[in-house]
Every structure is written in C-alpha cells, then in structure tokens.
Structure 1
C-alpha cells in the first residue's frame, strides 16, 4: 500500500466519523465542530487529488466563514435541553422510514454503476493547480473575471451606502 492510499483511507474514515458525529451529537455546538473537522478531511481529499485551489477554497469558505456563521446562530439561539420540544415516537418512526427509503433508492441507483475500472489521477497533471487556474483566468477569461470584480465592488459600495446611518 502506498502513502497516498493510506492517506486516502485515513481521510475517508475521518470524514465518515465526523459526519456521523454531526448527526449523533446532542450538543449543536459540538455538531458544528465535528462538521468543521469533516470539511478539513474533505479538503485533505482535494489535496490528495492534486486540487489545491478547491482545498483552500473549501477551508476558507466552508470551514471558515459558513461554520462561524452557524456557530454564531446556534449561540444566539441559546439552545438547551429545556427549549427542545419532546419528539413523538411516530415522528421518529417516520424519519427512520424516510431514511431507509432514501438509502434503498441510493443503493438501487448505485448498484449498476461501473466504477471498478475508473481511477482518479493522483499527483499527475496540472488540472487543479492554482498556477494553471490563474493562468487560465488571466488569459482566456480576463474580461469576465474583471467584470465580476467590478460587480462585487459595486455591491460592496451599495452595501456600505445602505448600511450607513444618516
């Protein structure tokens, strides 16, 4: 077994364990922290697949910004055991049946898939590298890239004007 395969399996187990803990954890703050760990494991998969830009964007956008917002919302809501309503056992049963049906549909859809002969290219090529992405953005797509930056700048100025107190 190569180092890449060991790293892949370690990151896969870490991501699955983190995702399971998001669902199982009773404390919402702990669920958010487990979700952040899951995002880091997924970013590790991107790095193994030689897609550094996706890994960095995943860490910055998801693990950084969105999870901090989730954490703030959970803290502002002040969720504790006294505010959580009791769940009826019929609702739990309906949730279990719905989850089982979803799993059945996924297994049926993936049963005939032909994935045995397909392999991901690891550490080869330059598709996901930041250098090749930057070169493509500033040569082929320079006009749409600059137009989107002007659009973001005008949106930022509009937000400052709207948010400014009189």
Structure 2
C-alpha cells in the first residue's frame, strides 16, 4: 500500500508540474487529466471508492472536456500570443515572492502532528455518503442544486441568440445603419 501511495504521489506531483510548465495548452489539459486520475487513485487507497468515481466522472470527464472545448474555441495554440507588459511581469514576481514568503513562514513554524483517528470502514461508501447527504447536509445539498439550476438557466440565456438581434449579413451600407437605429 505504501509503495502504491508513493507511486501515485510522484505521478500527481510530476503531472501537476507538467500542467504548469507545458507550453501547449492541450498538453497541459492532458497532464491535468493524469493528475486527476492519480488523485482518484489516492481516494481509492483511502477506501473512498464513491468519491474516486465521482472525481473521475465530474473532473476528468466533464470539466476536462469543457477545458478542451474552450481551448479549441479560443485558439490558444497560436504561436505569437500576447506579450506580457513589464507591470504584469512585476506583479507576477511580487505575488510569487509573497507566496514563497508565506510558505517559508508556514514551514518555519512547524507542523503539529496529531494522532490519527479511529478507522471507520463505512466512510466513503455510497450508502454512508447518501445517508449523511440526505440527513445532516440536506439544506446545503438543496441550496447547491438551486445554485446549479440558476447557473444553467443563466448560461442558456446568455448563449441564446435572438433572431431579431442578429444583423442580416446581406444588408450593407446605409440600409443596415437605418435598420439598426
């Protein structure tokens, strides 16, 4: 078990570094899929098979397909991308330095290691997750479903194109200006 944990941890770290360091966005998305799959492997090692499958279906399946569509629609593979200004580079360097200082201070403070709690074999199984979700966390579950529904309605309304708003491509010149006014 320990060897498998270290193998999955190495895969997670290497693929996460590849996500950040890849120049091609498609390669970055593929490395992120590998990272998500290795994290799902960690969930299986923690006896949370349901969480692992949901992670694979939602993140590796749906979210990565969405990322690939966005990359393809925005055509981010163009070789001559936008140049970053000096102010943006300076802001990025300052933010990175502040993050490094925060991490260094956290490491210097030390980590308090607490003993592990008792092992519950029911944690992570579908029955236990469903029972907790529909008893203890029913209100947050319902609120999140309403939030997702409103997000879906908002996306549909934004993406919907009215036929009246679209200009006719065959009408040009002063006729188009008169019709749009």
Q: Give the TM-score of the pair, scaled to structure 2.
A: 0.67
Supply the distance in 1 between the matched residues of 2:116 and 2:138 (Cα, whole angstroms).
36
CA distance change for structure 1 residues 107 and 118 in 2, over 3 Å: closer, same or farther? Answer: farther
Q: Alignment length, in residue pairs?
A: 160
Question: 1:113 Cα deviation (Å)?
Answer: 4.5
Gaps of 5+ in 1: none
CA RMSD of aligned residues (A): 3.8
Q: Decide whether aligned partners of structure 1 residues 120 and 36 sit closer, same or farther in structure 2, where only a CA change above 3 A counts.
A: farther
**Residues 1:85 and 2:105 are matched in the alignment:** no
Structure 2: 5+ residue stretches without partners: 163-181
Q: Is the 8 A contact 2:22 2:28 kept in 1?
A: yes
Cα distance in 2 for residues equivalent to 1:103 and 1:12 = 22
Residue in 2 that maps onto 1:60? 57
Question: What corresponds to 1:132 in structure 2?
Answer: 128
Equivalent residues in 2 for 1:69-84, closer than 5 Å: 69-84=66-81
- 1:109 paired with 2:106, answer yes
* Residue pair 1:50, 1:124 contacting (<8 A) in 2 also: no
Distance in 2 of aligned mates of 1:36 and 1:126: 28
Q: TM-score, normalised by structure 1?
A: 0.73
Which residue of the partner structure matches residue 11 of structure 1?
A: 8
Q: Which has the larger radius of gyration?
A: 2
Q: Aligned pair 1:42/2:39, yes or no?
A: yes
Does the 8 Å contact 2:49/2:125 carry over to 1?
yes
